[in-house]
A and B are shown apart, each in its own frame.
Chain A
Amino acid sequence: MIFTWLPWYVSFASLWLVVWAGLLGGARMVRLPITGQRWTFGSCSLALAIAMMPVGHFPLARVVAGFGFVPSIPLLALLADTVLRGVRGKGWLTPLDHKLAWLWGALAGLTLYPSALGLGRFDAYSLGWGFTALGVVIATLAVWLIWRGCRFGIVLMLATAAWQGGLLESANYWDYLVDPVYCATAVIALAGTLVRGRRATAI
């Protein structure tokens, strides 16, 4: 662990990104003209104010942290990319990276959560304590994706680096790779892609 206070800041940064991405996405849905520095600064400040808004004795970000929501690094990357796309009109991750991110979120989550919640004797979460084969698999996957020119490989590399640096409250590697919100979103996004694909084929 590098800095013990890092997880505290990450809880603010993650809610700030969630709210900011939500504001930009919402504005786009109602077709508000959200380009320009003024809009960027305004939406950024509003998102920060919401994340820091006092609820009872705590800022909203710490209330959310109290409910156990700690975003994984891929989810943070996706949120950051959504914000970048909303602010600059162009993101850092390509559509292929997004598909890979959803695929990873769904696969990792569906591998992890059933076994971690007691389905069977084996607990996949145990692979995240210290050095295990999981680290080698992720590093190999990251190298392969980067070699193929996929930026999602860099996201996986950053997730491992964040785990080594103790960026999140958890010491378990899995918590840096996937979280329940990311997994649920990924499953919904993949299901949506499949449904749209079938409709297109039917037409």
Chain B
Amino acid sequence: MSRQHTRWFGIAAVVALNLLPLARSWRSTPTGPPAEFAVAPPVLASATNDAPNLTTEFLDPAFRTPSVHVASLCEVAGGRLLATWYGGPREGHQDVAIYLASREAGAAQWSPARPLVTRDSAARELDRYVRKVGNAVIFSDGSERVWLLYVSIAAGGWSGSSLNLKLSADGGRTWSRSERLTLSPFFNVSELAKNQPAPLRDGGWCVPIYHELFGKFPELLWLPASGSARAAVKTRPFGGATAFQPALVPLSAQRALLANRDYRAQRKVQLARSDDGGHTWTPPAAADLPNPHSGLDAIRLRDGRVLLAFNDTAEGRDVLGLAMSPDGGATWQRAGTLEREAGQEFSYPFLLQTRDGLIHAAYTWKRKGIKQATFNLAWLEAQVGKEAK
């Protein structure tokens, strides 16, 4: 074959192997994130008219490990609640496991916790070396379908984390094998999750995740409705050394708020906004609420207000408070204190409003247990009134 023929053959190969498939993927690739947030419908009126009520309990009071952290909650079909957290000898220990507990609608207490992911089970399912597991976030669309996103680490500390996905089609009773998500070009490390995702109208999810290797910053993971790890896409609201560990609050189909943990000297909750379905975001701006470099969570209540759970102190994690915003995060009012005890740790809150209108806050209690506070809107409003006085 002459050199000229070789050239034409090569170019024909590029067209056949690259350009034609590229053109095909052009048609199937959306121009931006496939986003329209699915905002929850208004809550039942009866739930909002009740007398103020707050109850607290520990998730599986009999659960005993020296250290627990990072709770998450979701509601599945029939009003059943699922909760996950990790526990073990200490944070980052190789014997840490991710635990799952459930609570049937109307049941008096949570089921005993069972290990859902251990270092060994993750290694077996991912078919690779895993040194330890960590943060997990459980979420559901309210049916029997449940997603679990969890962190695994092969080397180093939290900055060596990768994210993995497990699915359940029967309300968390049985689970698929773990699938690794490749989200970073640098050894696929430093991808973590802490807070719940926002559901999308197409059945997918927008999960707030974060990166913490050289700089700490928030990211958004767009999961398709199919749950395919290979179809996941990641975007960045803002970069560099800014704020991280975001909580994503969809305000409407296109508008959203991102509340972030602050690790710089300012020590304020950092807020960013999007008006185009999470495609672009404003730079983070400090809210008039403290953040002592600690995890927070925020949700949109079904009446449209935004509820934030955060450590309401400039230093330490010994006060866990709530704040509400009636105007999408522009202004905030204190809405009660869940915990206050000097020198103790009450941290990493996770908020959920169930279909019955009740609001649940799960959080780390002195690292000894995961506590759940359940309250109604009437209680929240009463707290706002007290704070105003």
Q: Taking beta carbons and an 8 Å cutoff, which residues of A are in contact with B?
A: 1, 8, 55-58, 62-63, 65-70, 112-113, 115-123, 125-126, 128-132, 135-136, 138-139, 142-143, 146-147, 149, 153-154, 157-158, 160-161, 164, 166, 169-172, 174-175, 178-180
- Give Cα A67–Cα B154 distance, bound, in whole angstroms: 6
Residue in A56, A120, A131 whose beta carbon sits within 8 Å of that of B25 in the complex: A131
> Does chain A have a CB within 8 A of B234?
yes
Contact with A along B125-147 (1 / 0, CB 8 A): 01111100000000000000000
A70 contacts across to B, CB distance below 8 A: 182, 188
Interchain CA distance A143-B11 in the complex, whole Å: 6
B240 x A119 contact (CB < 8 A): yes
- A67, B127: Cβ atoms closer than 8 Å: no
**A119, B215: Cβ atoms closer than 8 Å:** yes
Q: With contacts A62-B128, A65-B128 known, is A126 near B236, CB below 8 A?
A: yes
Q: Are A1 and B230 in contact (CB under 8 A)?
A: yes
Chain B: which residue is nearest A171 at the CB level?
Answer: B230
Query: 3 closest Cβ contacts across the A-B interface?
Result: A68-B187, A66-B129, A130-B29
- Contacts A121-B239, A180-B187 hold; do A157 and B10 have CB atoms under 8 A apart? yes
Chain A: CB-nearest residue to B235 = A126
**B88-128 near A? 1/0 per residue, CB < 8 Å:** 00000000000000000000000000000000000110111
Which residue in chain A gives the minimum CB-CB distance to B179? A169
- For residue B28, which residues in chain A have a CB less than 8 angstroms away from its CB? 130-131
Q: With both chains docked as a complex, state the minimum distance between the C-beta of A57 and any C-beta of chain B, in angstroms.
A: 7
User: Of B128, B211, B234, which is within 8 A of A129 by CB?
Assistant: B234
* A131 near B184: Cβ-Cβ < 8 Å: no
A-B contact pairs, 18 of them (CB 8 A): A58-B128, A66-B154, A68-B187, A70-B182, A118-B214, A118-B241, A126-B234, A126-B236, A131-B26, A131-B28, A139-B14, A143-B11, A147-B10, A149-B6, A157-B18, A161-B18, A164-B25, A180-B187
B77 close to A (CB within 8 Å): no
On whether the beta carbons of B14 and A121 are closer than 8 Å, the reply is no
Closest chain A CB from B381 CB (angstroms) = 39
Q: Which residues of A have CB within 8 Å of B180?
A: 169
Residues of chain B lying within 8 A (CB to CB) of residue A136: 22
